[in-house]
Amino acid sequence: MNSRFLRDHGWAARACAAAWALCAGATRGDAELLEGRVEPPDPASASAPAQSPDAPADPRTWSVQFEPQMWFPALRGDIEMPGGSLFDVETLDLDEPELSPAGELSIRGGDWIFQFNGFAFDVEAASRADDAFAAGGGAGAVAVGDRVEYELDYGAFEFNMGKHVWSVPLKDADDVAVDFDLYAGARAYALDLRLETGSGVSSHDAQWADALVGMRMRLDLPHGFGLETAVDVGGGAFGVDGSFSWDITVAFTWVYENTAGIEIGFRHLSVDTVEGEGAEEFEFDNALAGLFGAVVIRF
């Protein structure tokens, strides 16, 4: 073989040498596989897609989520004490925001979810009346500028049971989905209001419950982020002569690897209840609304 041939066709020789080396390597690999020194690849593992660490937990399994919260709501609306007249809560500065404890416990299994939540709104202060009104009871009439001491204890506890009814994965986004739940339950209230003036004291307490129905929507986002909103309406007046309520919550959540995280949101709870008739009628037509923050714990 002359030098000119090698110069003109050396690339072919080098290609043949490379092919031979590749075949020899493959042959050695096959031999090692037959001798059992190399484990064959697992077809199942080869075909199974990699599981993203941010993928949501299987909704068919049981899970528990606990959220201790701090709510910062303000009271808005009207109150009428027995024997008194209707007055706006702003008249006594009862509309000032108050940091209030709250919480929520959710238990999810399969398509079902059981939820418990509650709050306690307590305020005690004194104010000069901005408008004249009748406080009722022994407190009598209140003139503009009169000093009124007030104490309000207001809380509620709710239980509801829901069913997952619809899930919509967003196109071209495996870890983004919208879920819808429908739920029904009951919310029990307790209220104790005391007004004290220079003339005396007027007080009233009431306990009642509403049946409620609602809808919850969740938007699951990558990296543990999520957005949730819940809306419900209630009524039934168990314990009083009439009651109607509606509640809306919007919250943004971040949870680290489905274990713990934080939640920031806004809640508006509106309640209108009436007890008694005529001069002895008590009316509480108010809304609590404000921002809240929570620690999210999942297990």
The radius of gyration of the chain's CA atoms, rounded to the nearest angstrom, is 34
What's the CA gap between 16 and 75, in Å, rounded? 87
Better-predicted residue by pLDDT, 161 or 17: 161
What's the CA gap between 159 and 117, in Å, rounded? 7
What's the CA gap between 7 and 67, in Å, rounded? 79
User: Would you say 184 and 159 are in contact if contact means Cβ atoms under 8 Å apart?
Assistant: no
User: Using one digit for the tens of pLDDT, what is the confidence trace for 58-75?
Assistant: 545 889 999 999 999 999
Enter the tokens of residue 230: 């819940």
Is the sign of the CA dihedral 210, 215, 220, 225 positive or negative? negative
According to DSSP, residue 55 is labeled S
CA distances from 285 to 80, 88, 148, 271 (A): 9, 10, 20, 6
- Mean pLDDT of all residues in the chain? 84
Better-predicted residue by pLDDT, 221 or 50: 221
What's the CA gap between 69 and 77, in Å, rounded? 24
What's the CA gap between 75 and 85, in Å, rounded? 19
The pLDDT assigned to 223 comes to 87
The pLDDT assigned to 91 comes to 95
Whole-prediction pTM: 0.77
The pLDDT assigned to 192 comes to 97
Pairing of strands 133-134, 141-142: antiparallel
The pLDDT assigned to 176 comes to 84
Average of pLDDT values for 212-223? 93
> In which band, very low, low, confident or very high, does the pLDDT at 171 lie, cut at 50, 70 and 90?
low
The pLDDT assigned to 23 comes to 41
The pLDDT assigned to 53 comes to 40
Nearest residue to 109 (alpha-carbon basis) of 159, 63, 176: 63
> In which band, very low, low, confident or very high, does the pLDDT at 174 lie, cut at 50, 70 and 90?
low
User: Using one digit for the tens of pLDDT, what is the confidence trace for 18-56?
Assistant: 444 444 444 444 444 434 444 555 544 444 444 444 444
Residue 290 amino acid letter: G
Average of pLDDT values for 188-193? 97
Average of pLDDT values for 238-263? 93
Average of pLDDT values for 123-137? 94
User: Would you say 228 and 219 are in contact if contact means Cβ atoms under 8 Å apart?
Assistant: yes
Cα dihedral value 257, 260, 261, 265, nearest 10: 120
The pLDDT assigned to 172 comes to 65
* H-assigned helices in the chain: 3-34, 43-47
183 has a pLDDT exceeding 80: yes
Better-predicted residue by pLDDT, 82 or 31: 82
Fold of 63-298: Lipocalin (2.40.128)
The pLDDT assigned to 279 comes to 87
Q: Where are the domains of the chain?
A: 3-47, 63-298
The pLDDT assigned to 14 comes to 52
236 has a pLDDT exceeding 90: no
Average of pLDDT values for 198-211? 95
